[in-house]
Amino acid sequence: MSFLSAIRVALDALLVHKGRSFLTSLGIVIGISAVIAMVSAGEGARLLLEDRLSSLGKNLILIRSGTPVSQVMTAGGTPLTRDDARAIRQRLGYELTGVAEVQQLQRLVSRHALHHPTAVTGTTPELPPVRGWEVQNGRFLTDDDLKKMADVCVLGATLKDKLFPNQASAIGQTVRLDVLELRVIGEMVPKGRSPLGFDQDDQLWLPLTTLQRKLGGGDRLTMIVTSTHSAEEIDRVKADITALLRQQRHVQPGNENFDVSSVNEITDLARTVTTVLQLLVAIVAGISLVVGGIGVMNIMLVSVTERTREIGIRMAVGATPANVLSQFLIEALALSLAGGLIGLTLGLAASFVMAGFIGWPLVISPLAIVAACGVSGAVGIFFGYYPAWKASRLEPIEALRHE
């Protein structure tokens, strides 16, 4: 019997029970669509995360005061000061791209009748090189601005749009911050959101000295930010900074009242979380495929029992065991492949919808598509083999007598 005839025979048998065939494939449909959608979601989330992490700056090292209580939080401790930053700059400057001091407040910034609450960051000139940020228009803060405690500021893209809607540039104009009139000297290239969802472009930068002296920010620094030239140096530099600050602040190892952490640690943590999530999804999808496969096996066993007499008739007129085996195997394969194709379609549709709603990039992995087809086929063959084998082992005379 030709292969094409065998496929015809198998498909005819499936179409007799359309509803049942559909319900049987449903397990595979759900399994495959889950795999496709979740692989796409996982990749999309990962890309989005990578994008946000890279926006923080490469090889970034954050130094904060207090005792670390988690990878992103600290509590208590003696504040960091400009002296700490100065020590790092003097002693370790050779292995750093720069050292930037940061003091951050939340303030209302206004221009005429427009008011906008924003992150006000007092900082030093080395912040852009350290974080890999670039100036779009004008210039960033200079040492001269700091020395003079100049009333100048640099705007993030979001803040600029809020205060100067429909204006190509805000440079030379002024904004009001508490008692100060600040002249806009620069605008930054947009950086997007941070991994924690904070809009890094909704920000105003001004000389650290202006913030500390004229706005009453005090000596306390929120953090010191620095970065290394390459990722391999991070651990060594972190150790150097830690040793230096221990000496500077007179603390024993283990009792640090400051925390030195790198963004790479956060990145690693985030990667671990996404990997674990993807693994979980893979397990769930795998289970649903196995359950779907058992559904196929179950219905094929029912089908073999129901059609025992048909098998007997076919054997009586000359069907070989191999003919019967292939007929039922093709039926199982067709069931699960059809399920796989429907699942693939639904999964792709779901990926598309998710990408649209959540806003991560739409990633369609060709590998996932090939794997989905391969896996559904394999499930069909694996779970269809036993019922098909059972059918092929029937004795013709007993099969014919079956009621």
Partner 1 sequence: MPALIELENISKIYQMGTLQVHALHNVSLAIEAGEFVAIVGASGSGKTTLLNIIGCLDHPTSGIYRLDGQDVSRLDRTELAHLRNRKLGFVFQAFHLLPRHNAVENVELPLLYAGMPPGQRRQRAVELLKFMGLGNYLNHMPGELSSGQQQRVAIARALANQPQVVVADEPTGNLDSRTSDEIYREFQRLNRERKQTILLATHDPTIDRWGPRKVTVHDGTIVGDVPGKAA
Tell which residue, 339, 337, 335, 316, has the closest CA to residue 387: 335
Closest distance to partner 1 from the beta carbon of 346 (Å): 31
Q: How many CB atoms lie within 10 A of CB 386?
A: 15
Q: Which residues bind partner 1 (CB under 8 A)?
A: 1-2, 5, 9, 12, 16, 309-310, 312-323, 395-397, 400
What is the smallest separation between the CB atom of 290 and partner 1, expressed in angstroms? 32
Indicate the residue among 29 and 324 with the shorter CB distance to partner 1. Answer: 324
Q: Which residues contact 94 (CB under 8 A, 6 or more apart)?
A: none
Nearer to partner 1, 297 or 315 (CB): 315
Provide, rounded to whole angstroms, the least separation between the CB of residue 400 and partner 1.
Answer: 7
Nearest to 46 by CA among 208, 225, 273, 237: 273
Shortest reach from residue 315's CB to partner 1, in Å:
7
Residue whose entry in the numeric block shows the structure tokens 């098998």: 311
Nearer to partner 1, 278 or 323 (CB): 323
The two tokens of residue 329 are 């195997």
149, 207 in Cβ contact below 8 A? yes
Residue 314 CB, nearest distance to partner 1 (Å)? Answer: 7
Q: Which of 16, 34, 42 is nearest to 292 (CA)?
A: 34
Please say which residue, 159 or 311, places its beta carbon nearer to partner 1. Answer: 311
Residue 395: how many other CB atoms lie within 10 Å: 10
Q: Looking at beta carbons, which pairs linking 53-57 to residues 24 or more positions away fall under 8 Å? A: 53/195, 53/263, 53/266, 53/267, 53/270, 55/191, 55/192, 55/193, 55/194, 55/200, 56/131, 56/194, 56/195, 56/200, 56/263, 57/130, 57/131, 57/132, 57/133, 57/225, 57/227, 57/263
Which of 313, 362 has the CB closer to partner 1?
313
Q: Which is nearer to partner 1, 19 or 197 (CB)?
A: 19
Q: How far is the CB of 13 from partner 1 (least distance, A)?
A: 8
Of the pair 310, 331, the CB lying nearest partner 1 is at 310
Closest CB to partner 1 among 127 and 299?
Answer: 299
CB 303 to partner 1: min, Å: 13
Distance of closest approach, residue 367 Cβ to partner 1, in angstroms:
39
